[in-house]
Structures are given as C-alpha cells and as structure tokens.
C-alpha cells in the first residue's frame, strides 16, 4: 500500500532511524539500500545526505560477526557528520565497560569460584553467556579477527576486547560520542523506554522539569560517567566512579526491566508484547511538545511496531530476533511516519510491508490492538491483507495476515501492555 501522493515518499521524511544491528553487517547494509538519506560507499563509509539526520538507536555489537566493522562505520560517520549523525548508547554497548575490570582481577561478586581463578578466555566466555546475553560474542570476535588477518588465539580475542576499551580504543571512542536521549521536533529517541520512574530523573538523584532540560542533564551525566571511565577514576573504597552508569544500563536485580532507566526500560509487557505508556506519561510528554517516542531494545517482530492513541505515537523498531535477514527502514518527520520492510508469516510466506502514516490519521487501523486477541495491527501487506502481530513467551512471535473485510468486524482499541 504505497502512497503516490506528494510528500509521502521516503525522501520527504528527512530523519532516518536504525537500531539494534548487534554486529550483523547485513542489517546496516540493507537499511542503506534504496535509502534516499543514508548510503554506504565502499566497505564501510556511511554517507548522510545534506539536510538529513541519521539516528542510530543503540546496541551495535554482540550477536553477529561484524561488531568492530559496525562500530568503525558508525563512529567514522559521526566524526564526518557530527551534526547529522546521532548515536544512542545501548546496553550491549555500555556493558562492555565492565570488561576492563572484570578481566583484570575484579569479577562480579556472583562470579563462581571456579570462574574467578579460570584463564581469562574462560572467564570472558562465562561473562558473555551469563551476564551479557551474548553467548556467541567470543566466537564472533574470533571470526572477525580471522577475516581481518589478526592473531586469533583465545588470549588474542581477550586482548582485542580490552584494546577496544583502552586509549584510542574503538568501543571507548564510540561510547564517548554517544548519548542517552535525543529530541528532534516532536520526537524523543531513547534506546529502551521512558517510564514514570525515568522521565525527568537523572541518576544523581536530581529531578529535572521539562523534557529538553532533562535530556540535556541526562546526556551531561552520561558524558561525566564516560570521562570517569576514560580517566580510570575510583572512589575512596576503590569503587569505579563510573559504576552508576553500569547500574543504569542493567535490569533491576531480579527483574528483566529497569523502569528507572531509558536504556533498559521496555515499552512492552513481560512477553515483550508492545504497549503504550500510561495516559499520565503521555500527557506529561505532550506538555513539552513530545508526541512521538521512538525506541529499540525490545524485539517486536520483523518490522517496526507503530502504536497510537489520539495524537501520540510509540514506535518500537528493534531489528533483533526477527525471521528475515536485513533490517526494516523507518523514516520520520513531525507529522508523518514511513515504514518499509519484509516479514515472514506463520505459513512461511515472505511479504512486503510498506506504508506512510500521518500522525492523527484515524482512517486506518495501524497501531491499534484487537481487543479480543491482543494482536497489534502492524500495517498493510503487499498482498492486500493487513499484518497482525502478537508476542509470545520466550522471544517467539506470531505474524498473521488478515483480510480487510475480516478486520472491519473486529473491536479495536489502544495497544496497552497487559490488556490481553
């Protein structure tokens, strides 16, 4: 359902958004294909067209064999287009700061005794699998070192991760130019989510009124934490001065979420089914002129989930745990959203999703939820059907086609977590 009306093409939406590549180069490359604003030249030069903004939503590494290549490409683009490229720090990026101490004699308290005395490669594999949700990260880094012709012993792999965090280190330099939140027009971007416990709150304990002042204060705190890491500052007890940042990017102990964090908050229920913020939070954001929240972090199928209530939009665009190769394309402007991507249905068929949605348009069911089953109406398929989505336990999902005539007979309502 591609629109041919003036002002409804990709090129008319000057903000290009991508998130959660997680070390898989094809996700970045596919996003750049047939993209009017962001393209790749050569093997790793990302170019942003004049007048466009590219926002990368976080999580550049961990689940694919091209982590360093992705980091280098994003960092080089940021240095070349400092005002046009925005890099948000994700939890999979920030948590690598832990390795500088944990691999050098200061493992986490919950690290098993046998791991504490194990060789560094063994300890690193345990850290990845048990504390970072990155079971194959060690193997992926070895694969990448093989391709670039570098030494590939187990110790070499460990050394490569630590070098990334040292002077002129790739991950350290990347995180140094990242931020935690970004506001452009009526849209707020964060990696994970915004909740009552995080909006306005800076981890120093300070509360800041107004979205703009809060974003500035939160990003300033992040820069101070990164400066503390770079300088290696410790407090009187030997605790790293950047420990608050480590805590901020992690789930609350014993839970899968951290509602006090924009990095590890989730705009979804316990099954990762997407849900709108509370009406109170939506009204608070609206008072600062925010009518759209864009996040990654939480898987929500093969293409972005757009949820709507009156004049507010929530967009979840995480590209991980999908059934298709590559990433979807998401383009934005204040009054409109443009989505293009592929999905794999339950019967194995590949379909194309393609739509432009004007903010406040109530003539289409996109972003509404079937009250009886909880399925989210994601968008129109090329076949003429509508795509329905529902998250299932253990990162599984359901993607179903439904005929427009069938959908007309369904009761639809706002998609709120926990309402089905």
DSSP string, 269-322: -TT--B-PPPHHHHHHHHHTT--EEEEEEEE-SSS-EEEEETTEEEEEEE-TT-
Question: In this model, does residue 370 exceed pLDDT 50?
Answer: yes
- Give the pLDDT of residue 7: 66
Contact assessment for residue 85 and residue 77, using Cβ atoms and an 8 Å cutoff: yes
- Three-state DSSP class for residue 97: helix
Over residues 196-211, the pLDDT tens digits come to 999 999 999 999 999 9
Question: In this model, does residue 350 exceed pLDDT 90?
Answer: yes
Q: What single-letter DSSP state applies at residue 98?
A: G
**Whole-angstrom distance, CA of residue 47 vs CA of residue 123:** 39
Mean pLDDT of 386-412: 92
Q: Tokens 């994003």, residue?
A: 74
- Give the pLDDT of residue 394: 82
Over residues 270-300, the pLDDT tens digits come to 888 999 999 999 999 999 999 999 999 999 9
Helix, strand and coil content of the chain, in percent to the nearest 5, comes to: 30, 25, 45
393 pLDDT band, cuts 50/70/90, is confident
- The token pair at 60 is 């550049």
The per-residue pLDDT of the chain, averaged, comes to 95
Q: What are phi and psi of 181, to 5 degrees?
A: -150, 155
- The token pair at 313 is 């939009």
| Reported pTM | 0.96
Q: Which CATH superfamily is domain 10-107+143-365 in?
A: Metallo-dependent phosphatases (3.60.21.10)
- Give the pLDDT of residue 308: 96
314 pLDDT band, cuts 50/70/90, is very high
Mean pLDDT of 87-106: 97
Q: What are phi and psi of 36, to 5 degrees?
A: -75, -10
Domain coordinates of the chain in residue numbers?
10-107+143-365
- Give the pLDDT of residue 226: 98
Question: In this model, does residue 5 exceed pLDDT 60?
Answer: no
- Give the pLDDT of residue 3: 42
Question: In this model, does residue 4 exceed pLDDT 70?
Answer: no
Contact assessment for residue 332 and residue 325, using Cβ atoms and an 8 Å cutoff: no
Over residues 244-258, the pLDDT tens digits come to 999 999 999 988 899
The distance in angstroms from the start CA to the end CA of the chain is: 29
Q: Tokens 């293409």, residue?
A: 303
Mean pLDDT of 151-159: 98
- Give the pLDDT of residue 256: 87
Contact assessment for residue 84 and residue 39, using Cβ atoms and an 8 Å cutoff: no
Question: In this model, does residue 325 exceed pLDDT 70?
Answer: yes
Between vectors from CA 414 to CA 408 and to CA 415, what angle results, nearest 5°? 105
Mean pLDDT of 344-369: 95
**Whole-angstrom distance, CA of residue 177 vs CA of residue 79:** 9
Instruction: Classify strands 292-299 and 187-190 as parallel, antiparallel or unpaired.
Output: parallel
């Amino acid at each position: 359902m591609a629109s041919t009306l003036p002002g409804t093409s990709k090129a008319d939406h000057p903000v290009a958004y991508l998130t959660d590549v997680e070390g898989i180069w094809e996700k970045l490359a596919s996003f750049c294909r047939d993209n009017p604003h962001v393209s790749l030249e050569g093997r790793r030069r990302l170019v942003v067209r004049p007048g466009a903004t590219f926002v990368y939503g976080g999580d550049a590494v961990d689940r694919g064999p091209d982590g360093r290549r992705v980091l280098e490409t994003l960092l080089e683009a940021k240095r070349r287009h400092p005002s046009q490229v925005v890099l948000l720090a994700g939890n999979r990026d920030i948590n690598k700061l832990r390795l500088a101490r944990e691999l050098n004699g200061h493992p986490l308290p919950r690290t098993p005794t046998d791991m504490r005395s194990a060789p560094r490669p063994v300890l690193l594999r345990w850290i990845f699998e048990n504390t970072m949700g990155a079971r194959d990260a060690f193997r992926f880094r070895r694969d990448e070192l093989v391709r670039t012709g570098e030494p590939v012993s187990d110790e070499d792999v460990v050394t490569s991760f630590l070098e990334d965090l040292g002077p002129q280190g790739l991950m350290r330099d990347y995180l140094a130019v990242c931020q935690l939140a970004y506001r452009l027009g009526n849209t707020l971007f964060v990696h994970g989510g915004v909740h009552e416990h995080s909006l306005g709150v800076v981890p120093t304990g300070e509360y800041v009124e107004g979205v703009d002042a809060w974003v500035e204060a939160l990003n300033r705190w992040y820069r101070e934490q990164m400066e503390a890491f770079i300088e290696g500052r410790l407090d009187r007890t030997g605790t790293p001065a950047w420990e608050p940042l480590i805590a901020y990017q992690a789930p609350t102990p014993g839970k899968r979420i951290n509602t006090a964090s924009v990095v590890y908050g989730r705009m979804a229920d316990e099954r990762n089914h997407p849900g709108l913020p509370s009406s109170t939070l939506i009204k608070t954001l609206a008072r600062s002129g925010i009518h759209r929240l864009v996040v990654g972090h939480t898987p929500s199928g093969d293409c972005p989930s757009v949820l709507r209530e009156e004049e507010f939009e929530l967009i979840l665009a995480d590209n991980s745990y999908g059934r298709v190769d590559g990433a979807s394309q998401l383009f934005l402007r204040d009054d409109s959203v443009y989505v293009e991507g592929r999905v794999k249905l339950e019967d194995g068929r590949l379909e194309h999703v393609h739509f432009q949605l004007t903010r406040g348009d109530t003539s289409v069911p996109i972003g509404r939820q079937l009250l009886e089953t909880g399925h989210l109406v994601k968008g129109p398929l090329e076949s003429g059907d509508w795509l329905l989505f529902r998250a299932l336990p253990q990162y599984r999902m359901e993607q179903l086609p439904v005929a427009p005539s069938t959908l007309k007979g369904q009761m639809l309502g706002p998609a709120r977590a926990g309402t089905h």
